[in-house]
Amino acid sequence: MSALPPTTDDTPMWDLWQSMIQVPVVTAADEVGVFKALSDAPLTTEELAQTIGVDARMLSINLAGLASLGYIDKRDGRWSATHIARTWLHPEAEGYWGKYFKIFPATNPLHEQFVTMLKTGRRPKHREDDKPEWELGEMSPEAAEGIAAFMNTHSQAASRGAAVQPEFAEVASVLDVGCGSGIYGIQMALHNPGLKVGLMDLTEMCAEVDKYIAKFGVGGQARSHSVNMFTEQWPTEYEAHFYANVMHDWSDETNRILAKKSFDALPSGGRIFLSEILMDDDGTGPWQAAAFALAMMAGTLGKQYSLPEFRDILESAGFTDVRARRTGGGYYSLVSAKKP
């Protein structure tokens, strides 16, 4: 058989997918004036946003991407253009490449999306009646099938990396919140035969989850819970909660709501786990997190978060002992905390 089974390292696939973001993050910054402004003077994110007239939150993610690619630096809280940007991306420089890159906006839709996000502070074409199905709290069976298949592929390596972490051998039960296809909880069950696993998502998603439970033969350990995590009562029989690629879909305010819901549903001594690609503490990358954040901001209400940001969110709900480590599942880290 020529095909090989998944491993815990899918970094080449992430690098391939994220390569398409490199050009538009630069051309969008060029169009709104980032390189000229940061060549003239070092500026904070807020100062730069005011100078060039863009949204500071969206700008911060763009700047992280540019810094991780080597076009800008951050020192003492202020951004400045590197010699590369001053030589080749300043619009008044003799070596300015912007005229060449202007052929790309017509052929790369991400350029327009990133410019729109910078200028408006909103994802493109965002309307209250134009939300992804999962934001509306319901979806068609066809949409659920597509999302489950996408998430199952996307999470092959990361789920294996998370499942072998020692924490999941230390707990008797875990609820996978917003589980998608259920791949994380299913891998935990496969690697920890004594672990009881709950897989919680919307009704239509749970129909797909049940198919994956049957496919992997973990019905003796795992079961689905059809729950709208914002409006319905959560199961309370689990001693740990697990979120994979969930909080990056939502704003800081919404994540605080989710963290509090977990805190209230967990017993004393319970634990919460987040599987995410983390931003650096100072917001300068790495590229993999910044690029993923740009993708999240184009299609969701969230972004990629840093450990200090997650610590603030989790501690606001009452959790303590917040920490993180890389799992070996691609670029992912596991954030953990405890309920006293």
Please name every residue paired with 178 in a beta bridge, in sequence order, or none if there are none.
none
Token pair for 69: 């690619």
- The pLDDT of residue 127: 43
Among residues of the chain, what percentage have pLDDT more than 70?
94
Cα dihedral 67, 72, 76, 78 in deg (nearest 10): -110
- The pLDDT of residue 104: 63
Q: Domain 137-338: which CATH class?
A: alpha beta
pTM of the entire predicted model: 0.92
What is the Cα Rg of the chain in Å?
21
- The pLDDT of residue 135: 53
301-323 mean pLDDT:
96
DSSP 48-112: HHHHHT--HHHHHHHHHHHHHTTSEEEETTEEEE-HHHHHHT-TTSTT--HHHHTTSTTT-HHHH
pLDDT, mean over the chain: 92
- Is the confidence at residue 71, as pLDDT, over 90? yes
pLDDT tens figures, 330-339: 999 999 999 9
Among residues of the chain, what percentage have pLDDT more than 90?
81
pLDDT tens figures, 94-112: 999 988 887 765 567 889 8
**What is the DSSP code (8-state) at residue 249?**
G
C-alpha distances (whole Å) from 65 to each of 120, 226, 235 are: 19, 37, 39
Token pair for 292: 């993923």
Distance CA 86, CA 72 (A): 9
| Contact assessment for residue 216 and residue 244, using Cβ atoms and an 8 Å cutoff | no
136 vs 278, residue with greater confidence:
278
- Is the confidence at residue 131, as pLDDT, over 80? no
Helix axes 56-68, 287-299, angle to 10 degrees: 150
107-126 mean pLDDT:
83
pLDDT tens figures, 15-35: 999 999 999 999 999 999 999
Fold of 11-120: Arc Repressor Mutant, subunit A (1.10.10)
Q: Do 11-120 and 137-338 show the same overall fold?
A: no
Closest CA to 324 of 308, 340, 313: 308
Q: Which of these ranges, 76-80, 248-252, 272-276, 299-303, has the smallest mean pLDDT?
A: 299-303
- Is the confidence at residue 66, as pLDDT, over 70? yes
The full set of domain ranges for the chain reads: 11-120, 137-338
Distance CA 149, CA 181 (A): 7
**What is the DSSP code (8-state) at residue 278?**
P
If pLDDT is split at 50, 70 and 90, which confidence band does 172 have? very high
Please name every residue paired with 271 in a beta bridge, in sequence order, or none if there are none.
240, 338
138-162 mean pLDDT:
88
- The pLDDT of residue 129: 47
